Amino acid sequence: MAKIVHAQHGGVIPADLETLTTLPGVGRKNASVFLVEFHNMPAMPVDTHVARFAKRLGFSKGKNVVEIERDLCEILPRENWADYHLLMVLFGRYYCKATKPECATCKLKEDGLCSWTK
Ligand code: SF4
């Protein structure tokens, strides 16, 4: 990848999703994380935690990360994508876990916002 960045992009890692995902080893999620974290650009990286949380909350019925990303981008304000992404990653990783989520003490359930536990 480094050789391609050097030879084809003047040694500068591209700052657009389409070009980034042509680089070997760079998938859509990693490209989006790079845009959000390094360039502070609006993007919605969808990892396993974001995907699980989005489905449990009823934000998306997407069958893959591209569909989930599309759904999240439609309903969440663009200027806050980076913040929402990080919140969903952390909430999914430590609270709304894949196995044994903390539903018993979850405020979202208490407020009737989680479609997974209804
Ligand atoms: S109630 Fe459970 S499944 Fe729903 S958001 Fe909270 S932790 Fe996740």
Residues 78 and 110 in one domain: yes
Which tens digits make up the pLDDT trace of 8-22? 999 999 999 999 999
What is the model's pLDDT at position 93?
95
Which tens digits make up the pLDDT trace of 36-57? 999 999 999 999 999 999 999 9
Residues 59 and 90 in one domain: yes
Number of compact structural domains in the chain: 2
Residues 17 and 59 in one domain: no
What is the model's pLDDT at position 118?
74
Give the ligand 1 atom nearest the CA of 57: 5
CB of 117 shorter than 6 A to ligand 1: yes
Residues 56 and 89 in one domain: yes
Backbone phi and psi for residue 41, each to the nearest 5 degrees, phi listed first? -100, 150
Residues 28 and 69 in one domain: no
Residues 51 and 33 in one domain: no
Distance 114 CA to ligand 1 centre (A): 6
Cite the active site residues: 29, 47
CA 18 to chain CA centroid, Å, is 16
Residues 59 and 113 in one domain: yes
> Which residue segment(s) compose the domain that 3 sits in?
1-43
Question: What is the average per-residue pLDDT within 26-44?
Answer: 95
CB of 106 shorter than 6 A to ligand 1: yes
Residues 28 and 85 in one domain: no
Q: What is the CATH number of the domain that holds 100?
A: 1.10.1670.10
Residues 23 and 50 in one domain: no
Other beta carbons within 10 Å of 14: 19
For 82-110, letters b (16+ CB in 10 Å) and e give bebbeebbebbbebbeeeebeeeebebbe
